[in-house]
Structure 1
Amino acid sequence: MASVGQAIERAVVFGASGGIGAALVERLQARGAAEVFAASRRKPDDLPDGIQWVQFDLDDEDSIAQAAEKVGSPLDCIIVASGVLTLHDGSGPERSYRQIDAEAMARVFHLNTVGPALVAKHFLPLLPRDRRAVFAALSARVGSIGDNRIGGWHSYRASKAALNMLVRNYAIELDRTHKKAICVALHPGTVDTALSEPFQANLPEGQLTPPDEAAANLLDVLDGLTSHDSGQLFDWKGERVEF
C-alpha cells in the first residue's frame, strides 16, 4: 500500500517481549521514530539501545494506567501485540465444543479481548486530536465470523471476534473527537513465534513468516491507511478482512 501518513515520532508497543512485538519495536526505531516505548510484563533481555521500557501487566489495570502516565502524550502510534493461543498450562485451542472449559475460556478472553480494551481505555486519550494517529490491535483472520468455514478453536476465535467488535466501537467513538485517528485490527499472517510453534508442522511451504518481515508488513499496512479505513480488520497484505 502507498504511504499516506506522516512519519511516526512517538510510538508504544504492548507485548514487546513477544516475537512480533519485539520486531515491531526494532522496526519502528529503524524507521526513525524519535521515541519508542516497549511495554511488557518483564523487561526484555535484548532490548535495543535507545528503546524505553514500560512495565505493564494485563492482570493489573493500575499498571496500565501508570504506563500511560509514564509515556504521556501525544502518541502517534499505539500497537497492542499481546495475545494468547495456548495457555501456560498447555491448554490449547478447542477442536470441539465438548472441550470447552469455563476457566480456560475466561482466561483467553481476558488476555485477547479485555486486556487490549484496558490498554485502549488508558492510551486512546493520549492520541492527538489535530493530526493523524493510529491505534492497532493484532487480531486474526480466524476471528472473522463471515470467513469462518471450518469452526473449532472456539475461545480463540470468539475472543478475536470480540476484539474486532471493540475496534469498531472505538473507531466510531474516536471519530467524534479525533477526526484523523485510525483504529484498526490487524491480521499478521502465520508468524514464526512461540504462539504459532505448536501448529507449524503441517503448514504449506512459504506460509510461515519471520517476525521481522511480519513487522515490516504490518507497518507498511498502517502507512497506507486513512481515517476512512478506521474500524476495519486488515491482513498483512493490506486487504480488508470481513468481520
Structure 2
Amino acid sequence: MTNVNEGTAALVLGASGGLAQAIVSELMADAGIDTVIAVSRRAAPEHFVTAPAPPMWIETEYSEPAMAAVVEQLQCFAGRITRVVICHGILHSDSLWPEKRLEDISAESLQTVFQANSVVPVLWLKLLHRLLKSKQRCVVAALSARVGSIGDNHLGGWYAYRSSKAALNMMLRTLSIEYGRRVKNVKIISFHPGTTDTALSKPFQASVPSDKLFTPEFVAGRLCGIMDKAEIDGQLSYLDWDNKAIPW
C-alpha cells in the first residue's frame, strides 16, 4: 500500500467478524485501493499483522465519543475514501437468543440488539459525512438482512433482530435522502449477505441447504463487485448477495 497520506482508501467498520475480515482481504486485493483501514474492538488478527502490506487497524469502543475520536484520527483521508463497509451486528450471544414467542421478548435484549444493529451503523454515517464528501465516487454498504424486510416477513419470531434491521433500513433510507443533498458523491447500499458460514449463523446452519451456505470469501467478492458497479443516484438500495432488490 502507498503512504497513508496519498491515494484512495477503503474503510471497514466492525472489522473483527468472519465476513468483515474477508471483506478487508478483498479490499486489500483491489488494485484501485491504496490503503485499507479496519476499525474493531479487537486487535488485528495475526494474518493481517504479518501481511506484506497490512491494513491500518484501529481499536475502539463504540460509544459516540470514541467513534468521533476515530473519525478525527482519519482526517488525513478526507475526500479520498471510496469504499465504506459497516459490518456491525448481533444475532445471539451467551446471554441472548432470537425470540421464538412473545414470552421471550425482553427490554434488555431489545436494547442490546438495536444498539449494535441500528444505532452504531447510523452514528458512523452521522460522523463520517464530512470525511466522505468529495468529487470522487464513494460507495457505502451496511450489512442488513432479508429478515429486516417487513413485506417479506411470513414466519414471525426473531423480534429484536428483525426489528433492528428494519430500523436500520429506515434510518439508511432517511439518511440517503440527506446525503443526496449534502454528500452527493456517496451511494448507500443496505446489503443482505445470505447465510454466511460465520459464528453469527453457526447455530442455524443445520437447516440451510449446502448450496445456500456461503463462504465469507464468496460473499465479500459479491459485495465488492456490487459496490464497484453501483450507480451514484442519491437513493438507498436494499440488495441481496445476488444483486437482487429486496422488498421493504
Structure 1 residue 221 corresponds to structure 2 residue 226: yes
Q: Secondary structure at the match of 2:187?
A: strand
**What's the CA shift string for 1:179-216, capped at 9, x where partnerless?**
23101210011100000001011111211111111100
Percent sequence identity is 38
Higher normalized helix content (fraction of residues): 2
**Partner amino acid, structure 1, of 2:59:** Q
Structure 1 residue 25 corresponds to structure 2 residue 30: no
2-structure distance, mates of 1:148, 1:197: 22
In the other structure, the counterpart of 1:66 is 69
Structure 2 counterparts to residues 80-91 of structure 1, below 5 A:
80-89=86-95, 91=96
2-structure distance, mates of 1:188, 1:121: 24
TM-score when normalising by structure 2 = 0.90
Give structure 2 stretches of 5+ with no counterpart. Answer: 1-6
Structure 2 counterparts to residues 90-129 of structure 1, below 5 A:
91-129=96-134
Q: Does the 8 Å CA contact 1:129/1:177 hold for their aligned counterparts? A: no
2-structure distance, mates of 1:137, 1:99: 28
Q: Does the 8 Å CA contact 2:188/2:236 hold for their aligned counterparts? A: yes
**Partner amino acid, structure 1, of 2:201:** S
Structure 1 residue 149 corresponds to structure 2 residue 148: no
**Partner amino acid, structure 2, of 1:78:** V
Give structure 1 stretches of 5+ with no counterpart. Answer: 1-7
In the other structure, the counterpart of 1:15 is 14
Q: Which of 200, 211, 214 is residue 209 of structure 1 equivalent to?
A: 214
**Partner amino acid, structure 2, of 1:39:** V
Pairwise CA distance, 1:50: 2.3
Structure 2 counterparts to residues 153-192 of structure 1, below 5 A:
153-192=158-197
Q: Does the 8 Å CA contact 1:28/1:36 hold for their aligned counterparts? A: yes
Pairwise CA distance, 1:87: 2.6
In the other structure, the counterpart of 1:5 is none
Q: Does the 8 Å CA contact 1:16/1:38 hold for their aligned counterparts? A: yes
Q: Does the 8 Å CA contact 1:39/1:54 hold for their aligned counterparts? A: yes
Name segments (4+ residues, structure 1) moved above 3 Å: none
Q: Secondary structure at the match of 1:87?
A: coil
| Greater Cα offset, 229-238 or 93-102 | 229-238
TM-score when normalising by structure 1 = 0.92
1-structure distance, mates of 2:220, 2:210: 20
Flag the 1:132–1:23 CA change in 2: closer, same or farther, 3 A.
same
* Equivalent residues, number: 234
Pairwise CA distance, 1:14: 0.9
**RMSD, aligned α-carbons:** 1.4
Q: Does the 8 Å CA contact 2:99/2:157 hold for their aligned counterparts? A: yes
Pairwise CA distance, 1:172: 0.1
In the other structure, the counterpart of 1:50 is 54
**What's the CA shift string for 1:106-138, capped at 9, x where partnerless?**
100001001111111111221133221112110
**Partner amino acid, structure 2, of 1:64:** M
